[in-house]
């Protein structure tokens, strides 16, 4: 409904331009907001205030002009001017009820879908030399939710797992793998099942033995010059490491697959060309033998220019070089309109520099939107970066295991008679979704405190609360089995029915906001409010014991749409629902 009012206002602006009341180049951002107080209508706009300068009239006068030129619509029951020049819209209840009926019947909830774009979503992107840790959890979960929501809205989403599968550390790892294979033969693979330990052991060898270190360096050179034996060893290593990641994706219910992997090594052959092209455009400078680019706008606190290093003195390329090649690929080959990077905020400067350079060098067209959607740090309950008791990095697997154990206890305490198999299934869903939802429900830009207690609580904006709310709504249908709703319609009479109806109608605009800035917490907050609106409705309006059959049917339909919206919303967050818990 919000977008409907928005489009009415757009038409109004056009007609005011035709009448030369507004200049032809006037292009305001038309904002329509939900009102807090329903006596002021359902939606409001400040458009008249936005026009005062361009039109040279006072806002109340302009508000009247807008109202006089507003195309007629059956959705609008009444329009009023308020205060200094706000315009309030009262939505027609029948039109709202019709909108809800359409939402109920259509897989896309009857939403007006936006013009489809090609959107690259760069997320997860762990370094294959090491095991995935909690830092990658945020990228994986937030990125996946946004990818799903973009797809739901009809965009062409291309997932890119920009894994770190290249770099000097591979020399050390390959040298160690070679040593182990010589010692243990086939058994060597086993050592790779714990990448963290493997990495540490390799590092130890590197530091203690000069001979090993030389071998490692030579291996890097051979690897980079495409030596077949080295490449085979490298591929073996990465396959094993990647299989750990894929297991975690599966366990997390993340939609990323092996086919989405397009890591740093995929750009090896383009790196020399990146350097050449920057050079041809006169963008390169020398700094201590390295090739760098200085951009005016990037300076440190002392005002000294901050370079992007493109090639080291020894010829090696850097993270930024690969990212420049990746942008070119995403622009030219994938033809992306937008590229979204779900990466730790600590890399903000890197992305600002690389994005701006990519535009200057023409690696991406001006029209392509490059967005670093960064996230904060996940902290422990002591407010410091999350570590194990012994101070090590927390592995994702261990975290999920603990969540499951705790969820099992919780579910069992609520259902002492449930059989073990069902308990185990419910615990798995509750455990995993609690970890995911805790991350999704916070504004990604802020740091947050990881707390099992908070995330597994049945109170507040948590996964258990929403999963339980869903089972309650779904439960109503079990009890209403056999009721024929094929000719039923929704009518909104009671205030709580209207509130619920209004909330349900906001699903589409919520998704638009979520994908606009890559903010899943917007969808979480909406689902939480929707569950609350349903609770209030259910308390005030008997469903199965309604006064008339029509009322019962209408309320069942409202419940059905609530269940459908909750399920769809949770699905877009990558969260499975349960029929009972
Ligand atoms: N592998 C990097 C890390 O773990 C993240 C890569 C993000 N994507 C990118 N295109 N730079 O920090």
Helix-strand-coil percent breakdown of the chain, rounded to 5? 55, 15, 30
- Of 410, 550, 563, 558, the C-alpha closest to 475 is 563
User: Do 338 and 293 reside in the same domain of the chain?
Assistant: yes
Q: What is the pLDDT of residues 47-92, one digit of tens each?
A: 999 999 998 999 999 999 999 999 988 889 999 999 999 999 998 9
Question: Which ligand 1 atom is at minimum distance from the Cα of 164?
Answer: 1
User: Which residue's CA is the closest to the ligand 1 atom numbered 3?
Assistant: 126
State whether the beta carbon of 330 lies less than 6 angstroms from ligand 1: no
pLDDT at 224: 84
Q: What is the pLDDT of residues 92-136, one digit of tens each?
A: 999 999 999 999 999 999 998 999 999 999 999 999 988 787 778
Question: Which ligand 1 atom is at minimum distance from the Cα of 344?
Answer: 12
Pairing of strands 378-379, 285-287: unpaired
Distance 121 CA to ligand 1 centre (A): 12
Q: What is the pLDDT of residues 471-508, one digit of tens each?
A: 999 999 888 988 999 999 999 999 899 999 999 999 99
Tally of domains in the chain: 3
User: Do 272 and 253 reside in the same domain of the chain?
Assistant: no
pLDDT, mean of residues 296-315: 93
Residue 388 has pLDDT above 80, yes or no: no
User: Do 209 and 280 reside in the same domain of the chain?
Assistant: no
Find out whether 205 and 179 touch, Cβ atoms under 8 Å: yes
Give the model's confidence band at 394: pLDDT under 50 very low, under 70 low, under 90 confident, else very high: confident
pLDDT, mean of residues 339-362: 97
pLDDT at 354: 98
User: Do 367 and 275 reside in the same domain of the chain?
Assistant: yes
- For residue 11, the enclosing domain spans 2-91
* Residue 225 belongs to some domain of the structure: yes
Distance 355 CA to ligand 1 centre (A): 14
State whether the beta carbon of 127 lies less than 6 angstroms from ligand 1: yes
Last residue of a domain, one of 200, 229, 257: 257
pLDDT at 18: 93
pLDDT at 316: 87
State whether the beta carbon of 343 lies less than 6 angstroms from ligand 1: yes
Q: Report the residue among 134, 143, 343 best suited for mutation to probe ligand 1: largest number of ligand atoms under 8 A from its CB.
A: 343
- Of 307, 310, 313, the C-alpha closest to 288 is 313
Question: Which ligand 1 atom is at minimum distance from the Cα of 163?
Answer: 1
Query: In which residue are the tokens 């020894």 written?
Result: 314
Classified as helix, coil or strand, 542 is coil
Q: What is the pLDDT of residues 513-537, one digit of tens each?
A: 999 999 999 999 999 999 999 999 9
Find out whether 365 and 397 touch, Cβ atoms under 8 Å: no
User: Do 6 and 39 reside in the same domain of the chain?
Assistant: yes
User: Do 272 and 365 reside in the same domain of the chain?
Assistant: yes
CATH of the domain at 30: 3.30.1360.70
User: Do 327 and 249 reside in the same domain of the chain?
Assistant: no
State whether the beta carbon of 222 lies less than 6 angstroms from ligand 1: no
What integer best gives the mean pLDDT of the chain?
A: 93
Task: Please indicate, yes or no, whether the overall pTM of this predicted structure exceeds 0.95.
Answer: no
User: Which residue's CA is the closest to the ligand 1 atom numbered 8?
Assistant: 162
Backbone angles phi, psi at 272, to 5 degrees: -60, -40
* Residue 207 belongs to some domain of the structure: yes
State whether the beta carbon of 122 lies less than 6 angstroms from ligand 1: yes
State whether the beta carbon of 164 lies less than 6 angstroms from ligand 1: yes
Q: What is the pLDDT of residues 423-479, one digit of tens each?
A: 999 999 999 999 999 999 999 999 989 999 999 999 999 999 999 999 999 999 888
* Residue 442 belongs to some domain of the structure: no
Residue 161 has pLDDT above 90, yes or no: yes
Residue 190 has pLDDT above 80, yes or no: no
* Residue 409 belongs to some domain of the structure: no
Distance 341 CA to ligand 1 centre (A): 9
State whether the beta carbon of 139 lies less than 6 angstroms from ligand 1: no
How large a percentage of the chain has pLDDT more than 90? Answer: 79
User: Do 54 and 11 reside in the same domain of the chain?
Assistant: yes
Distance 318 CA to ligand 1 centre (A): 12
- Better-predicted residue by pLDDT, 557 or 130: 557
* Residue 561 belongs to some domain of the structure: no
State whether the beta carbon of 439 lies less than 6 angstroms from ligand 1: no
Distance 202 CA to ligand 1 centre (A): 23
Last residue of a domain, one of 208, 224, 257: 257
- Better-predicted residue by pLDDT, 220 or 393: 220
Give the span between the Cα atoms of 187 and 536, in whole angstroms.
61
Residue 1 has pLDDT above 80, yes or no: no
- Structure tokens of 137? 């959890």
* Residue 401 belongs to some domain of the structure: no
How large a percentage of the chain has pLDDT more than 70? Answer: 100
User: Do 231 and 315 reside in the same domain of the chain?
Assistant: no
Distance 73 CA to ligand 1 centre (A): 49
Classified as helix, coil or strand, 286 is strand
User: Which residue's CA is the closest to the ligand 1 atom numbered 6?
Assistant: 125
Classified as helix, coil or strand, 370 is strand
State whether the beta carbon of 323 lies less than 6 angstroms from ligand 1: yes
Distance 162 CA to ligand 1 centre (A): 6
pLDDT at 310: 97
Last residue of a domain, one of 64, 91, 118: 91
* Residue 25 belongs to some domain of the structure: yes
pLDDT at 119: 98
User: Do 281 and 367 reside in the same domain of the chain?
Assistant: yes
Give the span between the Cα atoms of 246 and 397, in whole angstroms.
12
User: Do 278 and 358 reside in the same domain of the chain?
Assistant: yes
* Residue 287 belongs to some domain of the structure: yes
Q: Report the residue among 135, 262, 328, 347 best suited for mutation to probe ligand 1: largest number of ligand atoms under 8 A from its CB.
A: 347
Quote the crossing angle between the two packed helices 549-572 and 463-479, to the nearest 10°.
150
User: Do 251 and 287 reside in the same domain of the chain?
Assistant: no
Give the model's confidence band at 167: pLDDT under 50 very low, under 70 low, under 90 confident, else very high: confident
- Of 89, 103, 102, 99, the C-alpha closest to 40 is 89
Bridge partners (DSSP) of residue 201 are none
Residue 2 has pLDDT above 90, yes or no: no
């Amino acid at each position: 409904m919000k977008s409907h009012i928005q489009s009415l206002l757009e038409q109004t602006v056009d007609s005011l331009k035709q009448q030369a009341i507004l200049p032809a180049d006037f292009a305001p951002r038309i904002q329509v907001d939900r009102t807090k107080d329903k006596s002021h209508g359902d939606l409001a706009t400040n458009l008249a205030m936005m026009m005062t300068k361009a039109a040279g009239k006072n806002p109340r006068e302009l508000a009247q002009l807008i109202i006089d030129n507003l195309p007629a619509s059956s959705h609008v029951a009444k329009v009023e001017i308020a205060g200094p020049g706000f315009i309030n819209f009262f939505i027609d209840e029948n039109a709202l009820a019709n909108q809800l009926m359409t939402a109920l019947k259509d897989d896309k909830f009857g939403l007006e879908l936006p013009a489809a774009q090609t959107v690259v979503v760069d997320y997860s992107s762990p370094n294959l030399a090491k095991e995935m840790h909690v830092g990658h959890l945020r990228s994986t979960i937030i990125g996946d939710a946004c990818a799903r929501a973009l797809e739901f809205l009809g965009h062409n989403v291309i997932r890119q797992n920009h894994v770190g599968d290249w770099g000097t550390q591979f020399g050390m790892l390959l040298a160690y793998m070679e040593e182990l294979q010589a010692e243990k033969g086939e058994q060597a693979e086993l050592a790779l099942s714990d990448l963290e330990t493997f990495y540490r052991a390799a590092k130890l060898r590197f530091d203690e033995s000069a001979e090993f270190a030389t071998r490692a360096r030579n291996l890097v050179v051979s690897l980079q010059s495409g030596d077949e034996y080295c490449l085979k060893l490298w591929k073996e290593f990465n396959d094993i490491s990647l299989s750990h990641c894929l297991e975690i994706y599966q366990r997390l219910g993340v939609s990323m697959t092996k086919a989405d992997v397009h890591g740093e090594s995929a750009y090896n052959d383009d790196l020399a060309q990146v350097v050449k092209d920057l050079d041809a455009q006169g963008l390169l400078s020398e700094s201590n033998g390295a090739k760098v680019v200085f951009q005016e706008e990037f300076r440190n606190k002392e005002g000294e220019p901050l370079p992007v290093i493109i090639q080291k003195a020894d010829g090696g390329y850097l993270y930024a070089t690969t990212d420049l090649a990746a942008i070119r690929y995403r622009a030219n080959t994938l033809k992306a309109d937008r590229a979204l990077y779900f990466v730790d905020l600590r890399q903000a400067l890197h992305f600002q520099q690389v994005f701006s350079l990519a535009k200057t060098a023409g690696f991406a067209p001006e029209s392509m939107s490059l967005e670093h959607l960064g996230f904060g740090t996940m902290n422990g309950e002591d407010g410091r970066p999350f570590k194990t008791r012994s101070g090590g990095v927390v592995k994702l697997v261990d975290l999920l295991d603990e969540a499951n154990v705790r969820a099992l206890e919780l579910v069992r305490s609520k259902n002492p008679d449930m059989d073990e198999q069902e308990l185990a299934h419910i615990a798995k869903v509750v455990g995993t979704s609690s970890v995911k939802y805790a991350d999704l429900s916070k504004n990604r830009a802020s740091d947050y405190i990881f707390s099992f207690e908070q995330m597994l609580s049945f109170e507040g904006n948590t996964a258990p609360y929403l999963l339980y709310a869903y089972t309650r709504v779904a439960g109503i249908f079990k009890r209403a089995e056999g009721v024929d709703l094929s000719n039923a319609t929704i009518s909104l009479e009671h205030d709580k029915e209207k509130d619920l109806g209004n909330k349900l109608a906001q699903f589409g605009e919520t998704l638009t906001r979520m994908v606009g800035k890559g903010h899943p917490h917007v969808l979480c907050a909406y689902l939480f409010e929707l569950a609350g609106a349903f609770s209030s409705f259910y308390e005030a309006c008997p469903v199965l014991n309604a006064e008339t059959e029509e009322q019962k049917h209408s309320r069942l339909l409202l419940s059905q749409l609530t269940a459908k919206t909750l399920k769809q919303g949770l699905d877009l967050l990558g969260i499975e629902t349960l029929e009972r818990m």
